[in-house]
Each structure stands twice: as structure tokens, then as C-alpha cells.
């Protein structure tokens, strides 16, 4: 198991840039149970589901937690910044 990295403001900006700019970002983080998880996710506007007027307004979230669209699960998931191990920007090809 790999240790989480110390997430500086610059690192956080780089991860958020990747999530918003690339079709897929691979995020590796340590789950609460101690296991490591790799999640393919995005915050790229064109990949997010459309919101309808009937949906509840966005929930406020802790600055310690980052919600993302999990591409493989097809739903919203999140990771804790203090559990981040690594990230990698990916194109659609891989």
C-alpha cells in the first residue's frame, strides 16, 4: 500500500485542472478501510450528466472532500484530499 501524499495548494490545483480539462483522470487514493482504490473520474463539463430543474440543489461539501463523476460507476463519488496517493491525466485513448 502506498502512503498518501501531502496535498499542497499547488497539487490540489493540478488535480482540479486535470479533472476539469481532461476526459479522464485516474485518481488513486486510500479508502477509509485502508485499501487502495483507483478511480477513473472527471469534472469536465461535457462529460457530466445534465441537471434537471426537479433535482435538489447542489449539496455543500467539505473542503476536505472532492466530489467527482466516476466514469466507470456512472455516478457521483468522492475522495478525501488527505487520502490522495497519485493522479494521472488521460486522453480518451488511454
pLDDT digits over 45-78, tens only? 988 888 655 455 566 778 899 999 999 999 999 9
Q: How far apart are CA 57 and CA 51, in angstroms?
A: 10
State the Cα angle at 29 between 23 and 30, rounded to 5°.
Answer: 160
Residue-level pLDDT at 52: 57
59 Cβ contact partners less than 8 Å away, ≥ 6 residues apart: none
Q: Is 68 exposed, middle or buried (0-12, 13-18, 19+ CB in 10 A)?
A: buried
3-state secondary structure of 31: coil
Q: What's residue 83's pLDDT?
A: 96
Amino acid at each position: 500500500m502506498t502512503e498518501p501524499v501531502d496535498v499542497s495548494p499547488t497539487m490540489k490545483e493540478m488535480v482540479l485542472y486535470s479533472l476539469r480539462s481532461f476526459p479522464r483522470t485516474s485518481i488513486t487514493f486510500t479508502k477509509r478501510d485502508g485499501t487502495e482504490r483507483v478511480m477513473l473520474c472527471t469534472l469536465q463539463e461535457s462529460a457530466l450528466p445534465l441537471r434537471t430543474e426537479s433535482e435538489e440543489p447542489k449539496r455543500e461539501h467539505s473542503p476536505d472532500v472532492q466530489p467527482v463523476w466516476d466514469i466507470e460507476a456512472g455516478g457521483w463519488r468522492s475522495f478525501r484530499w488527505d487520502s490522495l496517493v497519485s493522479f494521472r491525466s488521460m486522453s480518451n485513448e488511454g
